[in-house]
Structure 1
Amino acid sequence: MTLSVSAVLPTLYEYYTLPAITSGLSANQSYFTLNDRNITLYSGAMHYFRVPKPYWRDRLRKMRAAGLNAVETYIPWNLHEPEDGKFDFGAGGSDMQDFLDVKEFFTIAQEEDLLAIARPGPYICSEWEFGGFPSWLLRTKDIKVRTSDSKYMKYVTRYFNMLLPILAMLQFTKGGPIVAFQIENEYGSTEGAGFVPDRVYLQQLVDLYKKHGINGLLVTSDSPTAHRDVGTLPGVLLQTANFGSNPKPDFDLLKQLQPNKPTMAMEFWGGWFDHWSETHHTTSDEDFRTTYEQILSYPASVNIYMFHGGTSFGFMNGANLNNGEDDNSGYQPDTTSYDYDAPLTESGDYTDKYVIVKELVKKYNTVLTKLPVAPSITEKVQYQKTAIEKEMLLDDIVSNLPNVVQSLNVVSMEQLPINNNSGQSYGYLIYRRDNIDIPANSVLTIEGRICDTVVVLVNGMLMSKPLIEQDGLDGFGFWRIKDGNLTLGPRSLKNATLDLVVENWGRVGYGLLYQFNQFKGLWQGNVLLNNEKITSWKLYPLEFKKSWNNNLVGWNNPSGRWAPGPSLYKATLTIKKPKDSYIYMEDWTKGIVIVNGFVLGRYSRIGPQQTLYLPAPFLREGNNTIIVFEHYIPAKQIKFSRTAQFKTLRMRRNHA
């Protein structure tokens, strides 16, 4: 009997660890070696915190089946230390704890015969909320993130003292999967506006790694043609490149900056991400193939960013600033979907790009090892639409809230004395002024810019305009205008209640250092009524934490009038066997969806995202509760789809 080729091939770990591990990943020559054997890294990005834990193995096996030999992931500080001094690595009790067992993720990667690249930041970008920084950092006055500022480094050191020992145990030289660690992230991009990247800071990070026994290869990533080597420590850290196309100029420059060192793309952007109000970004398979083959034939190692994008569940989407200003006028919030037009879709399905990767890795990889059979795709279903059964208007929502803060003036979310004095990180903040007299045709003015959206109500009636079209972002209620004005109607009111419901739509995660002043809410000025300052506010944090979501009381039968304005709507999905699906929100206006207490993500009619991925692990047999927090105008039912729905635009780009 003749054995198949795959049956006699060694696994990846057998090839690189037998008979013994004597060294890790080396960049001491013009090519990589691992345990003194030549290796080209064929890596793909997958973020454990964007994928339900029960699906980690499936996605990792699909990566290995494509021929990849490594997985890369960021590590988000804001999830692992959600409150000042409170950590969660999978059992910390936060709403995201089921995503956070980073040790188990790397262990599963090794079990699936993949090496790993860890990118712990502490800044990660990743189109993630605040670039991975916890918002409570902003409570420290004059803190300078991403520098050697002692106020900032005190918190980095405390966090790394918890994280790095976990990663140290997972090093390849200790028998684990991690072969390389990235120091900071795209640090060269902080250059500008009079700031020179702080190499003292980079050295402090290196010292922390060494202190915790990490002896693996340390790298940085940047665009060399844009920033040369200002974001690295030449001779100490190996610099890698980030780009979306035309790799040769960046690779050639890397060779000049680092003679006789290996060449690698830490981020080859095989797709792109979306901002709300844009059309969905895709890159053609032809362009993807061309660039990927140019990288492999250079020859260079490469990490495809993203290989599997996943989802920025909850409130974890980040944002960009597109105009270099520091006043948020160019703010661009990211969508919940992080599909990224990747080789594996948001829900883990194969695409033509997956086939391209498999073909090209097989063509160029000279080290033959055993590969698994590609797993079958996960079944998707379109559940029957379900009617809204209950509703809760804003006053009833407020009556459920556990915290109210009395404040003379409006203040930002972060400054609230809640969450063990960590402030409010995510969700909404209701600024309420009771017993206020509002003359006819009064003008409400919010000084500065709103961070990020506001819905205005008087006595529970919606005063501000619903966001129906993209152009609505240019009007009152959104960040694009400064010192916005709103007329409150023709009637004169006595002892009225004024509500300003303000949303954090995602903190900026990329840009120059001064742009990391990411306070949310109303904080840039006062709120005026007919040019007179309003004082004596009640502030209600509306965070939508799971424990609160699951214990709401005061639901009412739908009134039939479906009054516009911020309200909760509840439906029940009854199923026999949970399967993956998408919630289709095209008939709703703007808000969030909550499934069995967990905030699935955001929706907005302006697109491009029209569906929210609903993984089967979030569902259960029997009854499932779906709650929608709608800002403006609701629909009367919840619809589902078997596939993701986007508006589409083909494009190429050089950088965010």
Structure 2
Amino acid sequence: MPRFDIGDEDFLLDGERLQIVSGALHYFRVHPDQWADRIRSARLMGLDTIETYVAWNHHSPVPGEFRTDGRRDLARFLDLVAAEGMHAIVRPGPYICAEWTGGGLPAWLLADPAVGVRRAEPRFLAAIGDYYRAVAEIVAPRQVTRGGSVLMMQVENEYGAYGDDPVPVRQEYLRTLAGMLRDAGIEVPLFTSDQADDEHLSRGSLPELHTTANFGSRSPERLALLRRHQPTGPLMCMEYWNGWFDSWGLHHHTTAPDATAQDLDALLSAGASVNLYMVHGGTNFGLTSGANDKGVYRPITTSYDYDAPLAEHGAPTAKYRLLKEVVARHRDVPPESPAAVPRTPQLDVTLDRAVPLDDVVGLLGDAHRSEHPPTHDDLGAWDGFVRYATQVRADDAVVTVQEVRDRALVALDGEPVGLLDRTAGIHAAALPARAGELTLLVEDQGRVNYGSRIGEPKGILGPVRTATRELTGWDTTPLRFDDDGGVLRTAVTDALRAAPPSEVTPPGRPLAGPALARGTFASEAGVDHFLRLDGWTKGVVWVNGFCLGRYWHAGPTRTLYLPGPVVRVENEIVVLELHGATTRTVRCVPGPDLGHTEE
């Protein structure tokens, strides 16, 4: 059987030097029917390896479950990598960051405050053991030592940047994880990956594990720093940041293709191996995007285009062509280029049926009665929306919360009266001078994926007060829009289909939210579309039951990517609009609009 080893100076495949030129491609951010296309495009760029994280919470959305259906089919993905003649690197965490909700850690596991977070706590370790065994059942038979494609696996992720445990305690944790992977049948080399920083590299690895570094510029300087921490063996940048992610309300991040290419050339000229992060970013479909909180909570956009060589819809960019030219200076590259991306249809879709969200709450979940408002985690609502309801008096005047995570629409008897917002620091809303039912529609906008706030609960924290008293007697309803198969609940679409059609005349009739709206459109099956929701404010979109993710007028992203495999000849679109829209039209446009840049 083949061997893959870490030599004194180089990676060795069957005894021969291998300079790895890899690209990150997350199977869970790409429609499965597009995996083969994206993998092939990476190979045509000159790459020999595909790297992927494994998102634990994606495979295990509830305790005791490890799903491998659809976008979770890691085995199929790795087999497609092998079929393309490429190697694979697998990074199962358990923590992955990746701008993915919770950094990949299951919210249900951390809902118990006694469970340790990224440390050698027995309940945390026991859960990781189960997770690692499930991952190893897929990966172990596909290791290069057994005739497969997998060269290496990572232990933890950027651990040197987390927490303040002393180094011996940190090493005990890492050593335990490495032992778990070995016990589960992983034979290939194990490695760690940390930012190219002396403190991080000194705290994030073990002498017996190979150390790699993450950076996106000044390659010779960063490689010299890595060599101080990895005195022998091959140097590798495990995340060469050739782009960056976007956050709602900020600008679209880009990197200069020429500068990226020059720095990559310097890295490869030094003999180092590299993993481009990302070669293809993809999309945070559904409600899977994470958030950062470094003093201000910033949720991540639905698009994970990352300004990567392959755009969100798989099209090669100018950066793709420049980086392929760089790789060609160091090895033979295929002469072919990826196939041209098919034309994207342009059309307007009218959403002529709508129902207020309050009318279908009973179809989305069961109410729970409690004196004080529970968190989302108390209710087992690991993402999405929870509706809180109680009664107020005419003299209550204002509603205040200690903390909302992350955003709440305030209404009295269904009439919108205010907004509570974590990012903006809004913790109070004025109430009309009348008694009635107060509702707070609370949205989890993505669990923190980096830093000390990993594992924090969502929802309403602490008491809810008015000008005169604390509010008690709450009915809380988690809104489960998706069924167990991950598609929009049939009861919701049935209710929308039964709604009387609205007369919608150009330029369109406004829509009051929160509401669900539905429309249909005919198009070309199997072809990518880009949806633009100008005039809409904030919400979620489904097409044929598949959740494309969130939209928000805050930008920077202005389009939602609709993968071709989701599109049929006759299609159904459902939009949850939280605030209101000036129109009931959604446009299909020629291409993506990721928003303004700093320039």
TM-score, normalising length from structure 1? 0.86
Which residue number in structure 1 is paired with residue 575 of structure 2? 628
Deviation at 1:529, TM superposition (A): 2.2
Deviation at 1:219, TM superposition (A): 0.7
Residue 40 (1) aligns with residue 19 (2): yes
Alignment identity in percent?
Answer: 34
Query: C-alpha offsets along residues 182-220 of structure 1, whole Å, 9 cap, x if unaligned?
Result: 111111011449898711111111101111221111111
Q: Residues of 2 paired with 1:562 and 1:528: CA distance?
A: 34
Which residue number in structure 1 is paired with residue 428 of structure 2? 485
Residue 590 (1) aligns with residue 538 (2): yes
Deviation at 1:437, TM superposition (A): 2.5
Which residue number in structure 2 is paired with residue 425 of structure 1? 382
Count of aligned pairs: 587
Q: Residues of 2 paired with 1:180 and 1:576: CA distance?
A: 41
Gaps of 5+ in 1: 1-20, 91-97, 324-329, 417-422, 466-475, 652-656
Are 2:198 and 2:225, in contact at CA under 8 Å, matched by a contact in 1?
no
Q: Residues of 2 paired with 1:157 and 1:582: CA distance?
A: 41
Give 1:246's match in structure 2, choosing from 218, 223, 228.
218
Give 2:456's match in structure 1, choosing from 496, 499, 518.
518
Are 1:317 and 1:506, in contact at CA under 8 Å, matched by a contact in 2?
yes
Q: Residues of 2 paired with 1:99 and 1:336: CA distance?
A: 16
Deviation at 1:372, TM superposition (A): 7.3
Which residue number in structure 2 is paired with residue 443 of structure 1? 398
Moved more, 105-114 or 226-235: 226-235
Give 3-state SS (helix, strand or coil) of 1:413's partner. Answer: coil
Gaps of 5+ in 2: none
Corresponding letter in the other structure for 2:280:
H
Residue 23 (1) aligns with residue 33 (2): no
Give 3-state SS (helix, strand or coil) of 1:456's partner. Answer: strand
Give 2:103's match in structure 1, choosing from 111, 119, 131.
131
Which residue number in structure 2 is paired with residue 106 of structure 1? 78
Residues 380 and 262 of structure 1, relative CA distance in 2, 3 Å threshold? same
Q: Residues of 1 paired with 2:503 and 2:367: CA distance?
A: 28
Are 1:73 and 1:118, in contact at CA under 8 Å, matched by a contact in 2?
yes
Corresponding letter in the other structure for 1:506:
G
Write the mapping of 1:253-652 to structure 2, written as runs, cut at 5 A.
Answer: 253-323=225-295, 330-365=296-331, 368=332, 371=334, 373-416=336-379, 423-434=380-391, 436-439=392-395, 442-447=397-402, 449-464=403-418, 476-481=420-425, 484-489=427-432, 492-494=433-435, 496-512=436-452, 515-523=453-461, 525-546=462-483, 549-552=489-492, 553-555=494-496, 556-557=499-500, 558=502, 562=510, 564-622=512-570, 624-634=571-581, 635-649=583-597
- Structural RMSD (CA): 1.9
Give 3-state SS (helix, strand or coil) of 1:415's partner. Answer: coil
Corresponding letter in the other structure for 2:302:
T
Q: Residues of 2 paired with 1:487 and 1:193: CA distance?
A: 45
Residues 336 and 197 of structure 1, relative CA distance in 2, 3 Å threshold? farther
Moved more, 576-585 or 199-208: 576-585
Corresponding letter in the other structure for 1:446:
V
Corresponding letter in the other structure for 2:394:
I
Give 3-state SS (helix, strand or coil) of 1:108's partner. Answer: helix
Q: Residues of 1 paired with 2:362 and 2:503: CA distance?
A: 19
Are 1:583 and 1:639, in contact at CA under 8 Å, matched by a contact in 2?
yes
Corresponding letter in the other structure for 2:408:
V
Are 1:550 and 1:596, in contact at CA under 8 Å, matched by a contact in 2?
no
Q: Residues of 1 paired with 2:100 and 2:463: CA distance?
A: 30
Are 1:396 and 1:554, in contact at CA under 8 Å, matched by a contact in 2?
no
Give 3-state SS (helix, strand or coil) of 2:418's partner. Answer: coil
Deviation at 1:360, TM superposition (A): 1.2
Corresponding letter in the other structure for 1:397:
V
Are 2:465 and 2:471, in contact at CA under 8 Å, matched by a contact in 1?
yes
Corresponding letter in the other structure for 1:235:
P
Residues 372 and 208 of structure 1, relative CA distance in 2, 3 Å threshold? farther
Are 1:48 and 1:73, in contact at CA under 8 Å, matched by a contact in 2?
yes
Residue 187 (1) aligns with residue 121 (2): no
Write the mapping of 1:191-206 to structure 2, written as runs, cut at 5 A.
Answer: 191-192=163-164, 198-206=170-178
Residues 633 and 177 of structure 1, relative CA distance in 2, 3 Å threshold? same
Residues 268 and 187 of structure 1, relative CA distance in 2, 3 Å threshold? same
Are 1:61 and 1:372, in contact at CA under 8 Å, matched by a contact in 2?
no
Residues 79 and 228 of structure 1, relative CA distance in 2, 3 Å threshold? closer
Which residue number in structure 1 is paired with residue 88 of structure 2? 116
Query: C-alpha offsets along residues 22-66 of structure 1, whole Å, 9 cap, x if unaligned?
Result: 422x22211111111111000000000000001101010111111
Give 3-state SS (helix, strand or coil) of 1:647's partner. Answer: coil
Residue 73 (1) aligns with residue 52 (2): yes
Q: Residues of 2 paired with 1:462 and 1:77: CA distance?
A: 38
Residue 148 (1) aligns with residue 120 (2): yes
Residues 363 and 372 of structure 1, relative CA distance in 2, 3 Å threshold? closer
Moved more, 279-288 or 218-227: 218-227
TM-score, normalising length from structure 2? 0.94
Are 1:197 and 1:231, in contact at CA under 8 Å, matched by a contact in 2?
no
Are 2:157 and 2:193, in contact at CA under 8 Å, matched by a contact in 1?
yes
Deviation at 1:337, TM superposition (A): 0.3
Q: Residues of 1 paired with 2:191 and 2:434: CA distance?
A: 63
Query: C-alpha offsets along residues 316-370 of structure 1, whole Å, 9 cap, x if unaligned?
Result: 00111123xxxxxx111000100000000000000111112211111112xx58x
Give 3-state SS (helix, strand or coil) of 2:202's partner. Answer: coil
Q: Residues of 2 paired with 1:375 and 1:454: CA distance?
A: 45
Deviation at 1:404, TM superposition (A): 1.3
Deviation at 1:136, TM superposition (A): 0.3
Corresponding letter in the other structure for 1:392:
V
Are 1:348 and 1:377, in contact at CA under 8 Å, matched by a contact in 2?
no
Query: C-alpha offsets along residues 473-518 of structure 1, whole Å, 9 cap, x if unaligned?
Result: xxx4334426x221112xx424x11110000000110113xx1242
Are 1:77 and 1:133, in contact at CA under 8 Å, matched by a contact in 2?
yes
Are 1:312 and 1:336, in contact at CA under 8 Å, matched by a contact in 2?
yes
Corresponding letter in the other structure for 1:538:
D
Corresponding letter in the other structure for 2:437:
T
Give 3-state SS (helix, strand or coil) of 1:526's partner. Answer: strand
Q: Residues of 2 paired with 1:372 and 1:303: CA distance?
A: 22
Give 3-state SS (helix, strand or coil) of 2:197's partner. Answer: helix
Are 2:53 and 2:96, in contact at CA under 8 Å, matched by a contact in 1?
yes
Are 1:544 and 1:599, in contact at CA under 8 Å, matched by a contact in 2?
no
Q: Residues of 2 paired with 1:559 and 1:460: CA distance?
A: 23
Q: Residues of 2 paired with 1:194 and 1:630: CA distance?
A: 48
